[in-house]
Amino acid sequence: MKSTQQNLTQTKRFNGMKKLSKALLFATTLATAFSVNAGFQVSGTQLLDGNGNPFIMRGVNHAHAWYTNRTQQALADIASVEANSVRVVLSDGQQWTRTSATEVANIIQWAKNNNLIAILEVHDVTGSGEQSSAGTLYNATSYWIDIASTLQGQEDYVIINIANEPFGNGVPESSWIDGHIQAIQRIRSAGLTHTLLIDAANWGQDWQEVMLNNASTVAAADSQNNTMFSVHMYEVYQDRAKIEGYVSNFLSTHNLPLIVGEFGADHYGNNVDEDSILAVAEQYNIGYLGWSWSGNSSEVASLDITNNWNVNSLSTWGDRLINGTNGIRATAETATVFNGGGMSSSSSVSSSSSSIASSTPSSSSSSAAGGEQCNWYGTLYPLCATTQSGWGWEQNRSCVARSTCSSQPAPYGIVGGGTTSSSIPSSSSSAPSSSSSLASSSPSSSSPTSSSSSSSGSGSCTYVVTNQWGNGFTGAIRITNNGNSAINGWNVSWNYTDGSRVTNSWNATVSGSNPYSATAMGWNAAIQPGQTVEFGFQGTKNSAQASVPAVSGSVCN
């Protein structure tokens, strides 16, 4: 969004012709002796919280940068309508008064006090390349690096939305791609491991489909495999076909999480199909954040969720968003880091010692010998010397544990030193592509531990334990098309013999109570030759190690 300092008016052009205006307003796991790094983590199209549980944003935007004295009360009020998240507008000083590190620390604490996940965004870059007053994405990135010490240790509670709508219309596609690749790499080099959120081009609405076509390219630049994306839905999205088409296409193409980071019921008299946005978000398990709590300028006052900041006086739009079908009250679930749904999270881990390792190092493994490296789906990483499983951070750089690397399918795995890449053994297995990543685990957890697979001439099905702790686990089933023609629709089944049970799932419709059956959700029903579809689930287990049942179905037997 683009804004002036006082009246928050935004001007947008769509299809390169029509100019519009719009008002602007929006932890690390408990530091253990093992320096295990927690926080939100991307897993396919799902965002997992610090306990490895699925988290779907259901919240609103709040314009802190222009209403700094309203924020503490606003967050309490936002929580009172049962929202689970809030996107907060910050300023890096390029257009408005810089939000200090102290302010950011206060915002995070106020959000935590109210069981809200904070999505923090820098607003000064809105519409760059078209809006002359806009700042640069590079400087916005520098802001996050400057306040890194305030953010570190809050990985369970904070998502970094690097910049709001950082490119306007008529900007080369390469600017959005290259600018975000550079931003991600700079943030990771600074030691920040938080989930990153990227806004779409075209003032966030992506009508030229720059993000839709290139999200995977940007996500691949993230050494943490922990990047998700946001589209803002205003007058470009006036019917369900447009809304659902964008969402389903994005999810099936990229296998990455998507949210609707901003939307309203109208925009300057132009209709927005908010009912369909809410329905599609619920159907596809994606997050949404309504714009905005209060304070919009008079010409777009209909975007205020509350009248004059009064939580007891909702606008028509606010009542629809909060109390209507598929609205916040009906669908929001609090992140489990606030209710003990796994491990706790409080203090920080220094960036030099943190890692994405999902297990506890015990004895040191031997260092990589003979020039061995890990070929992680086409990218070479060093093998960890001391981290026993998952990803690690050693000698100020990311590394992959030997056991995790060796589990990768050919032609990936351990390379160099006369060692060829390995196929999947019965040990750990990890994410199938750069768009998926290891889920965080509890201090006593074990990283992806085992897998089993079955296949026929046309397809193969693999069951993988992606994380386990105490009496809980998360798993995934991956269906790969090994044939020459598309698989259209799939159904797989599995059965536990040790008392394990599934408690929730994502990216598939799971039914039964052991045996279990899973079917496609529509957008992931078609599997092209060479493509892999993955769905995940969480459950309870009855033994020290989560079991690995066989998977059956016509697509894999």
Q: Is the peptide bond before 549 cis (omega within 30 degrees of 0)?
A: no
Stretch (H or E) spanning 134: none
Residues 270 and 234: beta-carbon distance below 8 Å = yes
pLDDT of residue 427: 26
For 503, the enclosing helix (H) or strand (E) is strand 501-506
Q: How far apart are the first and last CA of the chain?
A: 51
Supply the pLDDT for residue 267: 86
- Single-letter amino acid code for the residue at 203: W
pLDDT given at position 45 = 92
Question: Which is catalytic among the residues 82, 121, 244, 262?
Answer: 262
pLDDT of residue 532: 81
pLDDT value of position 412: 64
Residue 390 has what pLDDT?
Answer: 63
DSSP string, 406-452: HTSPTT-EEEBTTBPP----SS----SSTT--PPP--TT-B-S--EE
pLDDT at 397: 57
Structure tokens at 545: 């190690």
Residue 103 is among the residues annotated as catalytic for this protein: no
DSSP H or E run through 243: helix 240-254
Model confidence pLDDT, tens digit, residues 197-248: 999 999 999 999 999 999 999 999 999 999 999 999 999 999 999 999 999 9
User: 52: number of CA atoms within 13 Å, CB side?
Assistant: 31
Q: Are 124 and 95 in contact (CB under 8 A)?
A: yes
In this prediction, residue 298 carries a pLDDT of 85
235 is annotated as an active-site residue: no
Q: What is the pLDDT of residue 521?
A: 80
Predicted pLDDT at 528: 82
The confidence score (pLDDT) of residue 48 equals 94
Taking each helix axis from N to C end, the angle separating 173-189 and 210-219, rounded to the nearest 10 degrees, works out to 30
Residue identified by tokens 């090994």 is 482
Question: What is the per-residue burial (b if ≥16 Cβ within 10 Å, else e) of 92-101?
Answer: bebbbebbee
Torsion of CA 440, 441, 443, 445, to 10 degrees: -140
Pick the catalytic residue from 155, 165, 244, 274. Answer: 165
Each residue's pLDDT tens digit in the chain (557 positions)? 434 333 333 333 333 323 233 322 222 232 222 223 469 999 999 999 998 899 999 999 999 999 999 999 999 999 999 999 999 999 999 999 999 999 999 999 999 999 999 999 999 999 999 988 999 999 999 999 999 999 999 999 999 999 999 999 989 999 999 999 999 999 999 999 999 999 999 999 999 999 999 999 999 999 999 999 999 999 999 999 999 999 999 999 999 999 999 999 998 788 999 999 999 999 999 999 999 999 998 888 999 999 999 999 999 999 999 999 999 999 999 999 997 544 333 322 222 222 222 222 222 233 344 567 877 555 566 888 877 766 665 665 556 778 777 766 665 678 775 433 332 222 222 222 222 222 222 223 333 445 555 554 578 899 988 777 778 888 889 998 888 888 889 999 999 999 999 988 888 889 998 999 999 887 788 888 888 888 888 888 988 888 999 999 989 86
Predicted pLDDT at 268? 79
pLDDT at 30: 28
- Closest Cα to residue 89, out of 108, 110, 63, 68? 63
The helix or strand, by DSSP H or E, that contains position 261, with its residue range, turns out to be strand 258-263
